[in-house]
Chain A
Amino acid sequence: MFPILQVGPLAIQLPGLLLLAGVWVGSTIAEREAPKRGLSGEALSSLVFFGLVAGLLGARLGYALKYWTVYAEDPLGLVSLNLNTLSAPEGAIAALLTALIVARRHHLPLWPTLDAFATGLAAFAIFAGLADLSSGNAFGAPTSLPWAIELWGAQRHPSQVYAILLAMAVFVMIRRLSRAPAFPGFLFLTWLALAAASRLFLEAFRGGSVIVLGSLRAAQLMSLIILGTALLGLHRRARLAMETEGGPRAEKVTPRQSS
């Protein structure tokens, strides 16, 4: 819709800028959350930084491997700023592996670290929605509802607006819950469940969904699996917390008392 912000002679690509802003806000929140959970904020921000860098490198290398004959002739193409020549799956794997290595080196415990990221992730989701709104990605299915918007040659559900509103609601919920004491993993798994449930709900209003098994939307099936895993995870973590502490007061770091 407004993919380019024209500031005099400068054409700024708004979606990319919003995503960057989202990363910044998200990691700032995670850094603030870290001390409440006995973690070093610096360790978390280096996790984000190296994860992003590795993700970008991995995405470019993954893309280059597919067309290695072309890149063999022009190795400088590897450092191009073009976002079209990136391959997402390889990037994600590289980012994840690097994050794991950095977490190891800083001796970051898994669940409290994930908890520290939960609120930041919820905030990032709002920016991702805004980025989609500005680029017109994740567009809605055609509809004749009075609040339909004109996009890509049809009257469509403003699916990006729905996504932003729901992401805001999830953010508020997670922010509230982050202040309540609970067992390690509670906040992250709750965010994961809410995020999966949101996607499951929202995907129904999208146009251009990937369809599998005849008529089912792939994103919804994926969300169901993630939602189920998160719900099971909550149960497991809660049980473990009760067993290890011999009672429900299971929390090493209760944010209220520690600060």
Chain B
Amino acid sequence: MAKPKASARETEGVPSFIARLADRRRWGALSGAILLVGLVWTGLSATAQQAAGGASPREGFTAPDFRLGLLGGGEVTLSDLRGKVVILNLWASWCPPCRAEMPALQAVYDANRERGLEILAVNTTYQDSEAGAARFVEEYGLTFPVPLDRTGEVSRSYLLRALPTSFFIGRDGVIRSVVIGGPMSETTIRTTVESLLGDG
């Protein structure tokens, strides 16, 4: 739209176009007209919307809900955890960066559990094995729930493309930060959790 360069003639047009730019009345009128069009456009595109709408695996959207069986029995439903800050971590036992960040997740969990932090470490069981997951959990002494994504349904709905991927979900169920790939340092996890717990 608004193109400030009404006359951009080259070479022999040069003197006239500089003179035009320097002419206070003419340039002032043109600039005023351009800005007026811009202002009208701004008014036309004013909107009250911006409630991000449906669930989607990205920042600012509600985290897609799911219900999964847990390693060692039981079930978990994500939306039941509203009111808590949730780290949703997708992993597999054969993935080295996933291994590398687990102790950090456990440490942050121990330090902040009382303040309302929950961690769901979803094992991508469809490309892993339940036995492998169990060995892994034992090896690292993980105490947070480990849901098993046997069908790959949750990985699909979270558009999983790299392991590990972590979603930091606020108390309102809205995703506040997505970290694709890893390993995340304990510092990264702690600062992100800190800012979410602080939101009240």
- Chain A residues within 8 Å of B, Cβ to Cβ: 3-4, 6, 11, 13, 63, 66-67, 70-71, 74, 76-77, 80, 82, 84-85, 136, 141-142, 152-154, 173, 176-177, 179-183, 190, 193-194, 197, 200-201, 203-204, 207-209, 211, 214-217, 220-221, 223-224, 227-228, 230-232, 234-235, 237-239, 241-242, 247-250, 256
Measured CB to CB, the closest approach of chain B to A215, in angstroms, equals 4
Question: Is the CB–CB distance between B2 and A141 below 8 Å?
Answer: no
Instruction: Select the stretch in B35-43, B80-88, B125-133, B140-148 that faces chain A.
Output: B35-43
Question: Is the CB–CB distance between B15 and A67 below 8 Å?
Answer: no
Question: Is the CB–CB distance between A227 and B187 below 8 Å?
Answer: no
Question: Is the CB–CB distance between A77 and B162 below 8 Å?
Answer: no
Question: Is the CB–CB distance between A220 and B18 below 8 Å?
Answer: no
Question: Is the CB–CB distance between B15 and A180 below 8 Å?
Answer: no
Docked CA distance A74–B41 (Å): 50
- Chain B residues within 8 Å of A, Cβ to Cβ: 1-5, 8, 10-11, 14-19, 21-22, 24, 27-28, 31, 34-35, 38-39, 41-42, 44-50, 52-56, 58, 60-61, 161-162, 177, 179-181, 184-188, 190-192, 194-195
Contacting residues, chain A, for B50 (C-beta < 8 A): 207-209, 211
Measured CB to CB, the closest approach of chain A to B90, in angstroms, equals 13
Contacting residues, chain A, for B8 (C-beta < 8 A): 173, 176-177, 180
Question: Is the CB–CB distance between B177 and A84 below 8 Å?
Answer: yes
Contacting residues, chain A, for B4 (C-beta < 8 A): 190, 193-194, 197, 227, 230-231, 234
| A82-B194 CB under 8 A given contacts A190-B5, A197-B38, A242-B18 | no
Question: Is the CB–CB distance between A200 and B47 below 8 Å?
Answer: no
Question: Is the CB–CB distance between A142 and B53 below 8 Å?
Answer: yes
Docked CA distance A204–B42 (Å): 8
Question: Is the CB–CB distance between B180 and A183 below 8 Å?
Answer: no
Contacting residues, chain B, for A11 (C-beta < 8 A): 161-162, 181
| A241-B18 CB under 8 A given contacts A77-B188, A85-B187, A217-B46 | yes
How many CB-defined contacts (below 8 Å) exist between A and B? Answer: 178
Measured CB to CB, the closest approach of chain A to B29, in angstroms, equals 11
Docked CA distance A228–B27 (Å): 12
Question: Is the CB–CB distance between A228 and B35 below 8 Å?
Answer: yes
Contacting residues, chain A, for B186 (C-beta < 8 A): 74, 77
The one of B38, B54, B180 in contact with A13, judged by C-beta atoms closer than 8 angstroms, is B180
22 interchain pairs (CB within 8 A)?
A6-B161, A11-B162, A63-B191, A82-B184, A82-B185, A82-B188, A141-B49, A153-B56, A177-B5, A177-B8, A182-B18, A190-B4, A194-B5, A200-B1, A200-B41, A209-B47, A215-B46, A216-B42, A224-B39, A235-B27, A238-B27, A249-B14
Question: Is the CB–CB distance between A208 and B60 below 8 Å?
Answer: yes
| A181-B14 CB under 8 A given contacts A77-B187, A228-B31 | yes
